[in-house]
Structure 1
């Protein structure tokens, strides 16, 4: 099995293996080993940050990603040139969603409601044409479902110029914070100050046509339906 001997716990379902890199040390109550939480965090976004050391310099680079359930695909970049060349460098890929500001009665207890996942490993450069095309389809459909079948597909020259990396989801760490401040039952509750959560909502807006687009070209249904909907 891809996730090793502790992939499943009775009564819990699929879980993430734990090792020195994925073990929760701080704020352990916010840690999760549920594989379903990792899947949900990845499904809710499309931008990740890739941390890698290139020529002795640490770099953290934002890029788009797509996930097929077992593999995370993401674009290569200037920062990951050594990865594309050799595929031997360890990376840490992070996806984070901010759900709100936790406003307590004391500044010390302020915090953030969030969902975050870190995936560790050595990414594999995708070079085989069919797999690269499939990986790019996964990446495209993850962020804009329906666009792969609507727009022109990449040609051989464009595929050759595109760097795509694949990273297994086998080694990952998840943390989630939800709920109100933690000082409601402490001494600061007597201060008479407002406390609670300021939620953050992300919503797609109205489509903005290309200025040179002919007026008779309408947006496809898969894009029109996403207007004014939650991310």
Structure 2
């Protein structure tokens, strides 16, 4: 690789490499390819030759380098790219795209999820327009029970979207035969709804107290 780069090869070259579950190829940059293999040495070589760690997923190019590394579970590559300034929540491709955190959730890589969130990634990032998954849905689809708990403990609120994530995640887990994930999704949703109801009750009680003592007499009791 070093010799090719020395001869003028483009470190941002895009090539067809990956195949999805329907045997359809899609394009990635050579940097994303190296990141997706977890090969930090090749990633460093490409970056030192001028490869752009900020390149975005776009039409025909489904993965950024950070997304590819997260999908692979290569925490050392993800950390290296983030330290160079790569965005932790770069937008996913339009079709079947995932953010880096959504890929990590699908793989159950809690360490990478934590690393991305420490750099500002949003665990509630919406799914891509076509056949996307939120982080919670991706974890459920792949039976990652520990990840489901981790996400709800770190900012994912299942009660804030009218139950959409709950329904999607439960259906995806059922389709893949992950009974434990189905039960976990349901339990976490019930827990989120109870928490929301308790919060609303507290607000209503506070409002009622304020109306009863509008001049602050409550504090004199």
Please confirm whether the aligned pair reaches a TM-score higher than 0.5, indicating the same fold. Answer: no
Larger radius of gyration: 2
Higher RCO by CA contacts (8 Å cutoff, separation 6 or greater): 1
Q: Which has the higher strand share?
A: 1
Bin the TM-score by the shorter chain.
Answer: under 0.3
Give the structure-2-normalised TM-score.
0.23
